[in-house]
Chains A and B, each alone.
Chain A
Amino acid sequence: MSYDDYLDGQPTILTAALTGGIQGKETHPELPETPAEIAAAAADCEAAGAGIVHLHARRDNGERAFSTERFQAVTDAVRAATDDVIVQHSTGGTAASDTLRAEPLRTDPPPEMASLDMGPLNRYDRLTTENTREMVAGLHDEMQERGIVPELEVFNNGHLNEALSILDRFDNPPYLNLVFGPGTLSPPSPRSLLTMVERLPDRVEFDVLGFSRHQLPLTTLSILLGGHARVGLEDNLYYREGEYATNDQLVARTARIAEELGRPPATAEQAREILGL
């Protein structure tokens, strides 16, 4: 993926990250948590231009869940509410055991895609998500066995080293999600994004995730650079300062921008073609 893809008007894959695994309704009253709420948000986002929905599961009280059973409830509801959107399950999970981290891969049918974290990151003041190489490889093996295409989560420049080191495992274009934000994430700036993109081999497809107020500018820059965009309440709660967003509002805004820039939102079918699903 490159600037030439922008000039060629390649469609932009829009991913909607609907819920996440950190915040809940205590932070944003409309953040979808139940299967029904997540399904409704997924349908709205598909209508707004999303080709992929990135899913997490929660308990009834909003707390995190990793079990196949809870992911099954979410993914069933989403598939029933949407037409053709690509379902991507999260395998992230600070403190959860390796076995639990694999459970979202074991739904029936399996998700078409799943996230695969590329290395450690800090949470709060005293937690670290380790994401050891052995665990990452184990999740990747199971994804391959189940025909699930991973999205490689590159939380910082060191994680890019990790991702580049496993590209020979991919027959289709590897899909990297470049993450920008505070703490152990890549510093959120245009220069930081450019530095990352310059290191990507031509065969790589990438999308960009910017936390909070960095979501709009960095996803827009990604479109100009030939990349794709992930938006949604998992990463950013606000449409503008002081005004809560909804998932579909964020997707619709990025879809409009992509259209104006000559790279219209990819349908799910186009996204499958681009990513070799």
Chain B
Amino acid sequence: MACRHLAYRESDGETEFETARAYCTVADRFVQPMRADICTERYDLDPAADCEIYRDHAGLAWDDPPEADPASDDQPATDPAREGDGS
């Protein structure tokens, strides 16, 4: 699974990359590699719990549990083929 707002893109119209990189469709920008680990739900990270961008967009208060996300049953918009670390 991955964040429903994650896309992998080679370009945002201004910057071009040889390899598609993590792009947040809410923030409308490429994200840092460390934040991409939240988007891809690696290391047990969860956008609904750990990403302030996701939570703000979903209207979650600071202390709302991830289950309070109104879109929690939605399927992800993209599946970046989650993989084990590194290879």
Which residues in B have their C-beta under 8 angstroms from that of A26? 15, 21, 29-32
Could you tell me the distance between the alpha carbons of A7 and B61 in the complex, rounded to whole angstroms?
A: 56
Which residues in A have their C-beta under 8 angstroms from that of B36? 63-64
**Contacts between chains A and B (CB distance < 8 A), count:** 81
A257 within 8 A of B: no
Q: How far is the CB of A154 from chain B (nearest CB, A)?
A: 21
Q: Residue B86 contacts which of A29, A67, A97 (CB distance < 8 angstroms)?
A: A67
Which residues in A have their C-beta under 8 angstroms from that of B8? 61
Contact A57 to B37, CB < 8 A, known contacts A124-B52, A125-B52? no
- Closest A residue to B45 using CB positions: A95
Which residues in A have their C-beta under 8 angstroms from that of B45? 95, 127
Whether A126 pairs with B52 at a CB distance below 8 angstroms is yes
Q: How far is the CB of B69 from chain A (nearest CB, A)?
A: 14
Which residues in B have their C-beta under 8 angstroms from that of A103? 85
Whether B33 pairs with A66 at a CB distance below 8 angstroms is no
Main secondary structure on A side of the interface with B: loop
A185 within 8 A of B: no
* Number of B interface residues in the complex (CB < 8 A): 31
Whether B87 pairs with A67 at a CB distance below 8 angstroms is yes
Contact A21 to B34, CB < 8 A, known contacts A95-B45, A97-B43? yes
Interface residues on A, range: 20 to 34
Could you tell me the distance between the alpha carbons of A27 and B32 in the complex, rounded to whole angstroms?
A: 8
Whether A64 pairs with B15 at a CB distance below 8 angstroms is no
Could you tell me the distance between the alpha carbons of A127 and B55 in the complex, rounded to whole angstroms?
A: 13
Which residues in B have their C-beta under 8 angstroms from that of A65? 85-86
Which residues in A have their C-beta under 8 angstroms from that of B15? 26, 29
- Closest B residue to A127 using CB positions: B50
Contact A126 to B50, CB < 8 A, known contacts A61-B21, A95-B45, A97-B43? yes
- Closest A residue to B83 using CB positions: A59
Map CB proximity to A onto B18-42 as digits: 1 under 8 Å, 0 otherwise: 0111100000011111111110101
B73 within 8 A of A: no
The 26 listed contacts between A and B (C-beta, < 8 Å) are A21-B33, A22-B32, A22-B34, A23-B33, A24-B33, A26-B21, A59-B86, A61-B19, A61-B22, A63-B33, A63-B36, A63-B37, A63-B40, A64-B34, A66-B85, A67-B84, A70-B87, A96-B43, A97-B43, A100-B85, A103-B85, A124-B35, A124-B50, A125-B52, A126-B50, A126-B55
